[in-house]
Amino acid sequence: MTTTAVLITGTSSGIGRAAAEHLSRRADLTVYATARRTEAIADLASAGARVLPLDVTDEDSMLAAVKTVEDHHSHVGVLVNAGYGEYGTIEETGLDGVRRQFETNVFGLARMTQLVLPAMRAAGSGRIVNVGSMGGRLVFPVGGYYHASKYAVEAITDALRFETARFGIKVSLIEPGLIRTGFGEVAARTQASSSTPDGPYAALAAANGEQMRASYDSALLSAPPQTVARAIEHAVTARRPRTRYVVTPAAKALVHTRRLFGARTFDAYLKLQYRNAA
């Protein structure tokens, strides 16, 4: 039986891991799960995935991973690009951390895309699924640099979708809302390390931390990663995949509110949410 090769970046945790577990259950897909340290994803092999080392900030590592898949399947049938988030205010966040986040979320995504496209074009088919965020459509305070990386993913995906359509390549963007993975903990930890308790943004950072904890704990506002994995499955397998998949009802409400009512209304909403930080 011929299967479609699916290469997923960042499967050691979160959405990437959920996608690898979910897609590995399909007999028509051969899933390549990747991470910097393969011991972190060794259990995915028992779930049916093939495990590869991949660091999307390292050129040799990216070349080797793509070559491995192409050697077995002639081309990568589907590339799923995931990412991560670090939080902190614009003034206080160290730019080394900002560069590290852009290296993974933007430049790593772009380079992996460049590497798989020649063989996809030669085959006349392929799919690229980029995991963005509702945070690529609207911005919350204390997350500006993370949001900037996701806005960049929006732009890259929109351009790529048009550029590659004539070669039979379909491109989709996944825009999750709050997903109950380790994302919230990483965001809280990086936010705490980037600010000082007696600094000018201390009240805002504390309010943001409380907002994140309450939101991720809410079954109404957040969802499990399997919800995103199902959206990714649709983008991977549907005959006519959507250009965008906004995941969770709360994310859809926020995205449409921001789009319809503009910046002033959204700023007013944020002032209500962060009123204790004023």
Specify whether the CB–CB gap between 26 and 234 falls below 8 A: no
Instruction: Select which of 32, 84, 145, 146 is catalytic.
Output: 146
**Rounded (10°) angle between helices 144-164 and 95-102:** 20
Pairwise CA distance, residues 215 & 184, whole Å: 10
> Would you call 95 helix, strand, or coil by DSSP?
helix
The SS3 of residue 29 is: strand
Phi-psi region of 54 (alpha: psi -120 to 50; beta: other; left: phi over 0): beta
Using an 8 Å Cβ cutoff, are 79 and 157 in contact? no
- Could you confirm whether 245 is annotated as catalytic? no
**CA 215-221-227 angle, 5° bins:** 120
Catalytically active residues, by annotation:
146
